[in-house]
A and B are shown apart, each in its own frame.
Chain A
């Protein structure tokens, strides 16, 4: 698959410091952690050798670290995720590449039944990371575009992150690798080459469980993550021209969740719109708005709202997929309605 920028503006911030693409930032985190810690290793389909993965994220790693630490696997998600669990129990820190986040369902048992429950049941720590290239908007069809984060947030024992910027892509991957628990790292593949930003060179850590304020504002809070952070920021700029001051909270980490950041923002604005690319029904937005309704009801000036995809598989053809996804235009409209509510 080629990385097109279908439907995405290239956010090419002028380089003040050193800038990297989102993809380069992921690779840099892997490289630095592998240099630092011998127990860090990579496995997955097509990740090794000169090939370096379907998206080239691991390109060059086998040359530097050897085939023993950058392992190609057969096509067997259940087995290689289970194997990562065994490696992790023996003290390694495997970083598994799912070729696409969509295929993570083929490993579902190994993840949610075995890896996620082990520490609670008998105290075995499972420090692996699964990198899952997620999200769509690039005409990849129903099985190369999915956002399955809700299933894993729903699973006790897992941590889930979804970076939106190159700096966070690096810092969160470093934290995920160092964390002693299984972490699902959703990397938004539409951002791989379309987003570029400043990334600290060494030892850059973004702790799990901390959100960031992507844009500060006083009128409404848009709570989002991943690809939709960029769409929300674009919508916020358009609304600013109309005098609507939007705050954009980039959650970065979905589990653990930075509830303080959400609370602070909601108390400030009194109006909340949660946006994600994943389908809305029983999506993560449902949980966030439910918590807000339960705990911050008196701080709200309007009912919390959610945007997500409809209850259909992800469609392939560009007009269908555009109609399916939240984007800057639909967020702008929803946010304007909420601001006026």
Chain B
């Protein structure tokens, strides 16, 4: 495992800070009634989505889900386009066609957008990996799934098939303790979802999902292995969903002491403390935080002013020409 240089560590910090600033603004705006439809808070997932996406090579492909805002940003979707997407604007990633973070695909950035039906990105990422394999390209595909999503049938179908064909695929389970209101003990009878990997014949790795460098390193290693023909890896990142399932959800069902415990492990605060301990100055970290906030300010301003889609375009694009 190669050590990260300070510049790389500051990059990780910046992307997490940007994700947090974006999320904070989004949540605040939706609470004020300035949002459109619902949306999903990202709080608690910054280290997973950023640590994983920063491990990708430029020509790898990622299929992120609804807690992976950091991945979209790291891959290069501009905060303007993402915020416009949230507000249903004509210049959003989906041009007003898909809601919140859904459907934010852009193949020029190696991003495959998701559908609501949980689990369905898994085989699509597998297929991308199989395409690389078929053409003898040294590329890999990465996708995410929740602890709830790990109960679906398509999870099983995909992981089995990925192992059988030795696809260059990495799957990260974001185990955030809940699927909507359902806690882990009502979702599964095991402690570590990564244990299931053995049943498919692939490595299963548990990682601290609140440690951005740890996520980055295990994802890098798994992607390297995949590109080298070593087959798929299942990574379980343990974390906590710190707010409700979606914006309307107060999550009263989550015990307060559980949240308290995880709050002490806030991924952004933990990383800030580590960088500080390693000698990075507070000014520098604050400079990154300020930059993140101003980028988000500009994105919100842009999105609120952006035009809504033209209803006469309703029928456009159902089919590729």
The reply to whether A90 and B319 contact each other, CB–CB distance below 8 Å, is no
Residues of B within 8 A of A86 (CB): 112, 123-131, 141
The reply to whether A82 and B320 contact each other, CB–CB distance below 8 Å, is no
Query: Does B160 interact with chain A (Cβ within 8 Å)?
Result: yes
Roughly how many angstroms separate A89 CA and B130 CA in the complex, as a whole number? 11
Q: Closest Cβ of chain A: how far from B253's Cβ, in Å?
A: 28
Residues of B within 8 A of A114 (CB): 115, 117, 120-121, 124
Residues of B within 8 A of A181 (CB): 319-320
The reply to whether B112 and A83 contact each other, CB–CB distance below 8 Å, is no
**Most-contacted residue by chain A among B123, B128, B129, B141 (CB, 10 A):** B123
Among the 9-residue stretches A122-130, A132-140, A221-229, A328-336, the one with 4 or more Cβ atoms under 8 Å from chain B is A122-130
The reply to whether B154 and A109 contact each other, CB–CB distance below 8 Å, is yes
The reply to whether B158 and A82 contact each other, CB–CB distance below 8 Å, is yes
Q: Mark B108-126, 1 if CB is under 8 A from A, else 0.
A: 0000110111001111111
Query: Does B318 interact with chain A (Cβ within 8 Å)?
Result: yes
A-B pair count, CB < 8 Å, reads: 139
The reply to whether B130 and A79 contact each other, CB–CB distance below 8 Å, is no
Specify the chain B residue showing the minimal Cβ separation from A66.
Answer: B134
Query: Does A173 interact with chain B (Cβ within 8 Å)?
Result: no
The reply to whether A124 and B161 contact each other, CB–CB distance below 8 Å, is no
Residues of B within 8 A of A125 (CB): 320
Query: Does A175 interact with chain B (Cβ within 8 Å)?
Result: no
Residues of A within 8 A of B130 (CB): 71, 83, 86-87
Residues of A within 8 A of B98 (CB): 121-122
The answer to whether residues A123 and B123 also contact, given A86-B141, A87-B131, A113-B115 and a CB cut-off of 8 A, is no
Query: Does A156 interact with chain B (Cβ within 8 Å)?
Result: yes
Roughly how many angstroms separate A91 CA and B320 CA in the complex, as a whole number? 13
Q: Closest Cβ of chain B: how far from A86's Cβ, in Å?
A: 2
Query: Does A85 interact with chain B (Cβ within 8 Å)?
Result: yes
Among the 9-residue stretches B3-11, B99-107, B210-218, the one with 4 or more Cβ atoms under 8 Å from chain A is B99-107
Query: Does A191 interact with chain B (Cβ within 8 Å)?
Result: no
Roughly how many angstroms separate A259 CA and B64 CA in the complex, as a whole number? 41
Residues of A within 8 A of B107 (CB): 89, 124
Q: Closest Cβ of chain B: how far from A118's Cβ, in Å?
A: 7
Q: Closest Cβ of chain A: how far from B56's Cβ, in Å?
A: 15
**Most-contacted residue by chain B among A86, A120, A157 (CB, 10 A):** A86
Query: Does B39 interact with chain A (Cβ within 8 Å)?
Result: no
Q: Closest Cβ of chain A: how far from B126's Cβ, in Å?
A: 5
The reply to whether A118 and B126 contact each other, CB–CB distance below 8 Å, is no
The answer to whether residues A41 and B113 also contact, given A73-B161, A118-B105 and a CB cut-off of 8 A, is no
Query: Does A213 interact with chain B (Cβ within 8 Å)?
Result: no
Complex A-B: 27 CB contacts under 8 Å: A68-B134, A71-B130, A76-B160, A76-B161, A78-B153, A79-B122, A79-B126, A83-B126, A86-B125, A86-B127, A86-B141, A88-B127, A89-B107, A90-B127, A114-B115, A114-B120, A114-B124, A118-B105, A122-B104, A122-B106, A122-B113, A123-B105, A124-B105, A126-B320, A157-B319, A181-B319, A181-B320
